[in-house]
Chain A
Amino acid sequence: MKMRSMMTFLFLALSCSSCDDTKNLPPTTPGGGFYVQTVGQDNSNGIGTPFAAQFIDIKGVWDHDNASCLGVPVGDASTWTLNSGGGALIQVTNGRICAYWNFTWQTPSPWAGCATLPAQNGYVPIGPPYTTLMVFTCILYSTGPIIADAQGMQFSPSPTFTDVT
């Protein structure tokens, strides 16, 4: 009997270890909603100018509400996975605000390495629905003697630092 109870407890504990996404979600209320913009930035070529990263799957997992928020957290805390489409923008319908979310970049674009990184935590502040834009950026860095490996187009002198009058 004791053995059976222990096995039942163990089974329940193991089965719950895979229910992170559905942990004690707060009840859904109206008034939420925010946007996520997907951006790429190549800092390996010396310019590092960000650009809209299209068609990226992002997973959002609610982490916790902000207890010291100047207002009441509202919206839906359910987990979502959405694609940013051609406009590199995701609308999280009634997504919970005044709350912390974990965002995961799931598409191996603009660089494969983006999809291998752990989730990033971000805070969606209180405000009217659909006023907050969370910018989610995947940045590529290279270090080392890039000049020795440079391929393709080169400009000399660097035209971006030319005295333009």
Chain B
Amino acid sequence: MTTPRYRVHAEVEEKARLLQDNNQDTYRALADEIFKAPRGFEILAVAHGIGPTEIPPSIDYVIKDRLSWAEMQYRRGLGKGVTEQSIVNFTNLLVEKFGLPDYVRTSPRQVRFMRMFLMLHNPIFMGQGAVRPDIQVGESINEEMSPLQAVHVLLEVLGHKFFDADFQLTPEAWDREQASRATHTRATQTTGTDTKTTHQLVVSINPKQSEIRSALVRQVNSMNPAEALSLIDKALEVLGIEK
């Protein structure tokens, strides 16, 4: 696995670099950037007025305040972390609540995959606390994350479930696909004499994205503000982020 040539969510990484221990504003700025980061949801915002950037200001303020405080407490050793399983639980809860297709369900492996993807691109932010000081060769990274790391991973998982055809698979189908891709990657990395870089442009339409979009728009438009607030509260509760 090599260092990527292009940084995804570079603004998130920059805000993480600027964090100051006792300055909640810097944590708040990081929370803002995590919600603003492009993850494929933009068509929901532009065409339907829904998505992480479209939360009403009064609710938005409360959520980010709660998150930034939880992050500060966690980093001081006073707050709880969030497990990968909690992200799985919340994503699957959304699938059930909104009647989304089965391929939107996720698993600990998919969450770990997306966490590692973010760790490659945002090492300052996502690498913080990922390994214990006494970790041994062959041991895995912590299953637990900080509250803001968990939200970053959750939104990335949801974004990829929305727009990424390779990720729009049931956990079982995805496991099979990953095993096959790993074999192929090993083959391409260990054969040949020269490293060559090539580019390709592809134009496509993702029918699963349209299917999810229709279901989401139908369900979200039928929710009243109290239900929306309750869902957000539930998200923070499932993620274990205290009030």
Contact = CB atoms under 8 A, between A and B. Distances in A.
Interface of A: 35, 37, 39-40, 42, 44-52, 54, 86-89, 91, 103, 105, 109-111, 113-114, 116-117, 120-122, 125, 130-147, 149-162, 164-165
B6 A40 contact: yes
A45 B195 contact: no
Nearest to B88: A164
A156 B117 contact: no
B204 A153 contact: no
Contacts of B203: 103, 120-122, 134-137
Given A111-B6, A133-B210, A147-B189, A153 B42 contact: no
B109 interface: yes
B225 interface: no
Given A47-B120, A120-B203, A52 B196 contact: no
B1 A46 contact: yes
Nearest to B118: A49
B138 interface: yes
A137 B202 contact: yes
A164 to B, nearest CB: 4
A160 B38 contact: no
Nearest to A155: B1
B180 interface: no
Given A47-B117, A137-B202, A145 B195 contact: yes
Nearest to B184: A46
A87 B42 contact: yes
Given A111-B6, A143-B195, 11 more contacts: A44-B197, A46-B189, A86-B36, A88-B42, A103-B203, A143-B196, A144-B193, A155-B1, A156-B137, A160-B109, A161-B178
Contacts of A88: 38, 40, 42
A146 B209 contact: no
21 contacts: A40-B6, A45-B1, A49-B117, A51-B8, A86-B38, A89-B46, A113-B197, A113-B198, A131-B210, A133-B209, A134-B203, A135-B206, A137-B204, A140-B197, A140-B198, A143-B198, A146-B189, A149-B195, A156-B137, A160-B109, A164-B109
A146 B8 CA distance: 21
A139 B165 CA distance: 14
A145 B196 CA distance: 9
Given A155-B116, A159-B141, A142 B6 contact: no
